[in-house]
A and B are shown apart, each in its own frame.
Chain A
């Protein structure tokens, strides 16, 4: 069965600190896709990144970076020089080939609080 674990329920840091959100996944599939979404208080889930299982290159987008390691089944997300606007709940999600019954499997989310 597929599973996504986000062990950090809540993280609180002071603005400008770097912060890493952890994501560990389980799957038997050799082809799968990993996602990160941001959910601000408004409720709308905002897509951040999609990574397929054959692409282990790390990715950087501005202050955001992602570290994908198949050896440890992890797909961690780092925010550099955090800002108050980064405060939100962040979800990691997984789907497999043929969409695994066409559903995204979600972690429980990590609530990130950035204090000014």
Chain B
């Protein structure tokens, strides 16, 4: 079975632009979570989706939004990019909630210049 896949792997954007990151969970997993990891720090929770509904939101501005599709894949959108948005964006897949083992993709490295 394929693991969690994220695309693209690397991305360079200019300040003020918009970006869309994509994630496909493991087959059979219904929950997807997004995390931002700045270099040298632990991941910070952005969103969790389950069965296409938002179940949790971290302390991020409204420029960050996400959605989950009927096939359980997910998109993370960031508008009006700032230099501080440069980070590794990680997607995690779980069967249901986060109390169980979460499987992570390799992430999307976003650089804002």
Q: A1-34: contact bitstring with B at CB < 8 Å (1 yes, 0 no)?
A: 0001000000000000000000000000000010
In the complex, the answer to whether B43 meets A104 with C-beta atoms within 8 Å is: yes
A residues in contact with B40, CB < 8 Å: 108
Interface size on B (CB < 8 Å)?
Answer: 28
In the complex, the answer to whether B99 meets A33 with C-beta atoms within 8 Å is: yes
Instruction: Assess whether A50 is interfacial by the CB under 8 Å rule.
Output: yes
Q: Which B residue's beta carbon lies closest to that of A108?
A: B42
Bound CA–CA A52/B100 (angstroms)? 10
A residues in contact with B104, CB < 8 Å: 37, 44-46
Interface size on A (CB < 8 Å)?
Answer: 26
In the complex, the answer to whether A47 meets B102 with C-beta atoms within 8 Å is: yes
The listed residue (A4, A42, A102, A104) touching B55 by CB distance below 8 A is A102
In the complex, the answer to whether A44 meets B107 with C-beta atoms within 8 Å is: yes
**Chain A proximity of B74: nearest CB distance (Å):** 14
Residues of B at the A interface (CB closer than 8 Å) are 33, 35, 40-45, 48, 55-58, 88, 90, 92, 97-107, 109
